[in-house]
Structure 1
Amino acid sequence: MCTAATYKTKDFYFGRTLDYEISYGDQVVITPRNYVFDLREGGQLKNHYAMIGMACVMENYPLYYDAVNEKGLGIAGLNFVGNASYKKPVEGKDNITQFELIPWILGKCATVKEARQLLKNMNLIDTPFLPDLPVAQLHWIIADKEECITLESLEEGMKIYDNPVGVLTNNPPFNYQMFNLNNYMQLAVENRSNTFSENLELNQYSRGMGGMGLPGDLSSQSRFVRVAFVKMNSLSGDSEEESVSQFFHILGSVDQQRGCCKLGEDKYEITLYTSCCNTDKGIYYYNTYDNHQISAVDMHKADLEGEKLYTYAPIKGEQIRMQN
């Protein structure tokens, strides 16, 4: 499963964890403005905004998991198994496959406001990238420094939700996730007074007891609550170093360790990577399960007028700095 979040200090930050049992050869990929996307239902996407993100490149095509464009708009797709529903092509609509959605939005839109308008005529279709490659069941978080939305394609149709917490995980659908936060409205960052009974002398024996009840398991609903609480109460300086560091700490609250989520014989879900993109500067930061040092790729150091993808393999070996 996965978790995505936004964070704003002086600049705006957007990123996610990708939690899965295997990697598909993920790479940090810069798509320049003149790379041509051939759309499955006709037409081409060219002369678009440049973008950077983590993707699996197949047949020279970037299958983005998450990405940000040069204007500061970010999108991440997260597993939504059992609820995602895609349709067949419809005449008169923008028929877009789920794997085309991220480049289509980021290529055309500079803001969430523009994305809302573009989505009005979109029909998300069920065409696979390859005949033997299953269609990923996803929903999406779309954000800029001004607003954030969640996009879900359900059996009953397309849903676009305002996302005031700037967080997304997996199931259940987003409106249920938001409603569930009502069950945790008593959480606090400060210690609480005794409201159990005025006839009992109850003492606070530890710091942090205002957060008692915050879920700690790895389910998507619990991760939503935990990251929402941590993110909404998070404080840091506004320098790049402080902001990026704090973002990784926010998503670190739902980091998944090998051995804790068993999926089958010798299969365990882990946090393959965590990303954080400064959407104002176009710098994509990341770390991986076996390398906690933060690495970065700057999209503006590539030729954004080019036609070919720029790919960077993640640094996976642990980087330990010896001090003596």
Structure 2
Amino acid sequence: MCTASNYITKDHYFGRNFDYEISYNERVTITPRNYKFEYRLIDDIESHYAIIGVAAGVDGYPLYYDACNEKGLSIAGLNFEGNAVYLEEKEGMVNVTPFEFIPYILGTYSNVSEVKKALENINLVNINFSEELPLSPLHWMISDDTGAIVVEPLKDGLKVYDNPVGVLTNNPPFDKQLFTLNDYRSLSNRNPENTFSKDFDLDEYSRGMGAIGLPGDLSSSSRFAKVAFTRANSFSSDGEEESVSQFFHILGSVEQQNGCTFINDPDLYEYTIYTSCYNTNKAVLYYRTYSNSQITAVKLMSEDLDSAELINYRLETEEQIAYIN
């Protein structure tokens, strides 16, 4: 289960918590402009926008979990168990598989407006990557500095929603997630007035009482409400370090600690394996991992983007502590 968010100061920031019980040797993967994308049902694409993101450790093909391209368009795929439906090939449509969706979108389009128009003709086809890697049930948040959308594959085709809160978790579908925020409309970052009764002199005994009722558990709906409130009320200056730091604090409000979410296995718990943060305007990927709280950065524009070979960097997973005495 995961949480994605955007955040805008001077630049546009986008990223996610990747929450799962096991790692697939995730790594930072850069796809240069001339890497050949081979598709199952549409023509291969030999030249496209350069992409940086976090992908599974599968040699030869970038199975991106989240990424952004050199034009500032970003996307993350989140688990959508029980709701995602992939269809059969449809004549007259652009038939791409779910594992091809992120490379196709980021390699082809430069902004959310272009993507919204293209989605009218895209069909997500039920073809596995391999026998060993079946499709994951996913929905996606796509974002740039003009706004965000959510794309959900349902039995009657793709649903595309504008995303005014800049947040996505897993279930239920996005329109229902958005509706649940009505239950928290009375919350505030300021302490409330006493409206309980004029007959009782109730004590304002603590700061933060305006957010009483904000959920703190790790379910999808609760994480959606928690990070939506945190993002909406976040404040930072617009410098790069301050903005990046604040973004990690936003997603840190719903990170999962190892041991708190039990999976049906005596040795497995869901936890936040990594948190990503993209400055999409500058094409820089910042990340932290569960065992390394130091922020690591990788710059797309520092690479040879006209090459044809994937560029990979392993995630830094060992804690790095700065001793001062």
**TM-score, length of structure 2 as denominator length:** 0.99
1:323 equivalent in structure 2: 324
Q: How far apart are 1:59 and its partner, in Å?
A: 3.9
1:266 equivalent in structure 2: 267
Instruction: Identify unmatched segments of 5+ residues in structure 2.
Output: none
CA contact (8 A) 2:80 2:138 kept: yes
2:103 equivalent in structure 1: 103
Q: How far apart are 1:91 and its partner, in Å?
A: 1.3
The 2-side partners of 1:295 and 1:42 are apart by 36
Q: Secondary structure at the match of 2:114?
A: helix
Q: Secondary structure at the match of 1:120?
A: helix
Q: How far apart are 1:266 and its partner, in Å?
A: 1.0
The 2-side partners of 1:37 and 1:141 are apart by 22
Alignment of structure 1 residues 78-97 onto 2, 5 Å:
78-97=78-97
Q: Does 1:284 align with 2:276?
A: no
The 2-side partners of 1:6 and 1:122 are apart by 24
1:158 equivalent in structure 2: 158
Q: Secondary structure at the match of 1:269?
A: strand
Q: Does 1:312 align with 2:313?
A: yes
2:299 equivalent in structure 1: 298
Q: How far apart are 1:58 and its partner, in Å?
A: 2.2
Per-residue CA deviations over 1:125-164 (Å, capped at 9, x if unaligned) read 1100002322100000001000100000111221000000
Name the amino acid aligned to 2:291: D
The 1-side partners of 2:244 and 2:66 are apart by 17
CA contact (8 A) 2:292 2:318 kept: yes
Q: Does 1:68 align with 2:71?
A: no
The 2-side partners of 1:92 and 1:156 are apart by 17
Name the amino acid aligned to 1:126: N
* % identical aligned pairs: 56
Name the amino acid aligned to 2:200: L
The 1-side partners of 2:322 and 2:132 are apart by 44
The 1-side partners of 2:77 and 2:12 are apart by 19
Q: Secondary structure at the match of 2:242?
A: helix
The 2-side partners of 1:282 and 1:132 are apart by 32
Q: How far apart are 1:261 and its partner, in Å?
A: 0.4
RMSD: 0.7
CA contact (8 A) 2:123 2:157 kept: no
CA contact (8 A) 2:24 2:57 kept: no
Q: How far apart are 1:262 and its partner, in Å?
A: 0.6
The 1-side partners of 2:53 and 2:254 are apart by 21
The 1-side partners of 2:156 and 2:194 are apart by 46
1:136 equivalent in structure 2: 136
The 1-side partners of 2:314 and 2:135 are apart by 25
The 2-side partners of 1:24 and 1:225 are apart by 29
Name the amino acid aligned to 2:101: L
Per-residue CA deviations over 1:179-228 (Å, capped at 9, x if unaligned) read 00000000000000101111111111111000000000000000000000
**TM-score, length of structure 1 as denominator length:** 0.99
The 2-side partners of 1:97 and 1:265 are apart by 34
Name the amino acid aligned to 1:76: A
1:6 equivalent in structure 2: 6
2:28 equivalent in structure 1: 28
The 2-side partners of 1:131 and 1:79 are apart by 20
Q: Secondary structure at the match of 1:271?
A: strand
Name the amino acid aligned to 1:50: A
Q: Secondary structure at the match of 2:224?
A: helix
Structure 1 segments of 4 or more deviating over 6 A? Answer: none
Q: Secondary structure at the match of 2:247?
A: helix
Q: Does 1:41 align with 2:44?
A: no
Name the amino acid aligned to 1:322: Y
Per-residue CA deviations over 1:234-283 (Å, capped at 9, x if unaligned) read 00010000000000000000011011001021110010000001001111
Name the amino acid aligned to 1:7: Y
Q: How far apart are 1:37 and its partner, in Å?
A: 0.7
Name the amino acid aligned to 2:313: Y
Name the amino acid aligned to 1:112: V
Q: Secondary structure at the match of 2:99?
A: coil
Name the amino acid aligned to 2:111: T
Q: How far apart are 1:57 and its partner, in Å?
A: 3.8
Instruction: Identify unmatched segments of 5+ residues in structure 1.
Output: none
The 2-side partners of 1:57 and 1:128 are apart by 17
CA contact (8 A) 2:276 2:286 kept: yes
Q: Which stretch of the first structure deviates more once superposed, 148-157 or 168-177?
A: 148-157
The 2-side partners of 1:239 and 1:80 are apart by 35
1:229 equivalent in structure 2: 229
Q: How far apart are 1:46 and its partner, in Å?
A: 2.1
1:122 equivalent in structure 2: 122
The 2-side partners of 1:103 and 1:42 are apart by 13
CA contact (8 A) 2:42 2:94 kept: no
